Amino acid sequence: MVRKAVLAAVALVALGSAAAQETAPRPAPAPLVVNDDTVGILRERQVGSLILPQGTPPFPAVIVLHGCNGISRNTRVWARRLAGWGYAALIVDSFTSRGLHQVCDGSRALPGPVRARDVYTAAAYLRSRRDIDAGHIGALGYSHGGWTGLAAATQRAAERFGGPPLLAVVSLYPFCPKIALPLASDVLILAGDADDWAPSSRCTEFSAKYGTDAVHRPSLVVYPGAHHSFDAQAPDRVYFGHNLRYDPKATADALLRIRQFLDQHLRR
């Protein structure tokens, strides 16, 4: 009987320890180090990749935020496209230095509101460069990067992470939050109504929570029939159980809107 009681007590302690580990807060990821030693030309395994446009500096700049699978071809396409539009484009790799490969499986290793700190770290670095117009910095992210951009656009993030808010944030098919915090940046959200990963209905509900008296209200465009990753030119595929499909019509319209939005806010 004594032996059984001891074993039962040990089991209870083990269960309690496991429960405590499950409910314990996850340690915050290490901050990114973004400086001249960790930022270079467009190449692999570095924290930042910077592409400068042609012309005479200083240039307005856009921080490019990758999706849940890390740096991909689409990330680089966006950076080169932005440079072609006259913007310095800084790709920020939020995963490699932290030992992450992907968070597409639902991992909470780096949620958007936590990753938003990377945006402010990157913006501070850009402002330190003479070839960047420190007063005209924005961000563009898709999927997990779009979620991160929305989080970075809030007053809470600006106060928490320090530094001036971004002037403009473009968020493609993000996971829109249920709580609509006051924004410190102007935001453009582009989503597809056939998205089975980040439902556009969440973004519709999110945007509707901002009244006409809000200083910053998100602008939302929902494309009929468009899926997740509608801007990534690749064959139709299923990724982590979700449909990804390129939509040339939605992409063409999105490019026009994004360029107009950035020019309006970053070239004033």
Q: pLDDT tens for residues 118-171?
A: 999 999 999 999 999 999 999 999 999 999 999 999 999 999 998 899 999 999
Is residue 82 in a domain? yes
Rounded to the nearest integer, the mean pLDDT of the chain is: 90
Q: Look at residue 2 and tell me whether its pLDDT is greater than 60.
A: no
> What pLDDT does 29 receive?
87
- How far is the C-alpha of 94 from the C-alpha of 40, rounded, in Å? 15
Q: pLDDT tens for residues 4-15?
A: 444 444 343 343
Q: Does an H or E element contain 182, and which?
A: none
Is residue 120 in a domain? yes
Binned at pLDDT 50, 70 and 90, residue 77 comes out as very high
Closest by CA position to 170, among listed 119, 110, 104: 119
> Which CATH number does the domain housing residue 183 bear?
3.40.50.1820
Is residue 90 in a domain? yes
Q: Which of 39-53, 118-132, 176-190 has the lowest mean pLDDT?
A: 39-53
Q: Look at residue 206 and tell me whether its pLDDT is greater than 70.
A: yes
> What pLDDT does 197 receive?
98
Binned at pLDDT 50, 70 and 90, residue 232 comes out as very high
Is residue 10 in a domain? no
> What pLDDT does 25 receive?
55
Answer whether 169's CB lies under 8 Å from 137's CB: no
Q: Does an H or E element contain 91, and which?
A: strand 88-92
Answer whether 30's CB lies under 8 Å from 121's CB: no
- How far is the C-alpha of 85 from the C-alpha of 79, rounded, in Å? 10
Higher model confidence: residue 201 or residue 43?
A: 201
Q: Look at residue 213 and tell me whether its pLDDT is greater than 90.
A: no
> What pLDDT does 30 receive?
86
Residue type, 90: L
Neighbours of 149 (CB within 10 A): 31
Predicted TM-score (pTM) of this structure? 0.89
Is residue 19 in a domain? no
Q: Look at residue 115 and tell me whether its pLDDT is greater than 80.
A: yes
Find the mean pLDDT for residues 173-190.
97
Supply the range of the domain harboring residue 228: 32-266
DSSP 3-state of 129: coil
- How far is the C-alpha of 92 from the C-alpha of 132, rounded, in Å? 16
Is residue 4 in a domain? no
Before 53, cis peptide (omega within 30)?
no
Neighbours of 181 (CB within 10 A): 15
Q: Look at residue 23 and tell me whether its pLDDT is greater than 50.
A: no
Is residue 229 in a domain? yes
Q: Look at residue 260 and tell me whether its pLDDT is greater than 60.
A: yes
> What pLDDT does 41 receive?
73
> What pLDDT does 26 receive?
62
Q: For a pLDDT cut of 70, what percent of the chain falls above it? A: 88
Find the mean pLDDT for residues 84-99.
96
Answer whether 78's CB lies under 8 Å from 87's CB: no
Residue type, 224: P
Neighbours of 67 (CB within 10 A): 25
Answer whether 66's CB lies under 8 Å from 145's CB: yes
Q: How many domains does the chain have?
A: 1
Place of tokens 């592409």: 51
| Helix, strand, coil % in the chain, rounded to nearest 5 | 35, 20, 45
Place of tokens 């992409």: 251
> What pLDDT does 43 receive?
63
Is residue 157 in a domain? yes
Q: Look at residue 94 and tell me whether its pLDDT is greater than 60.
A: yes
Question: How many helices (DSSP H) and strands (DSSP E) are in the chain?
Answer: 7, 10
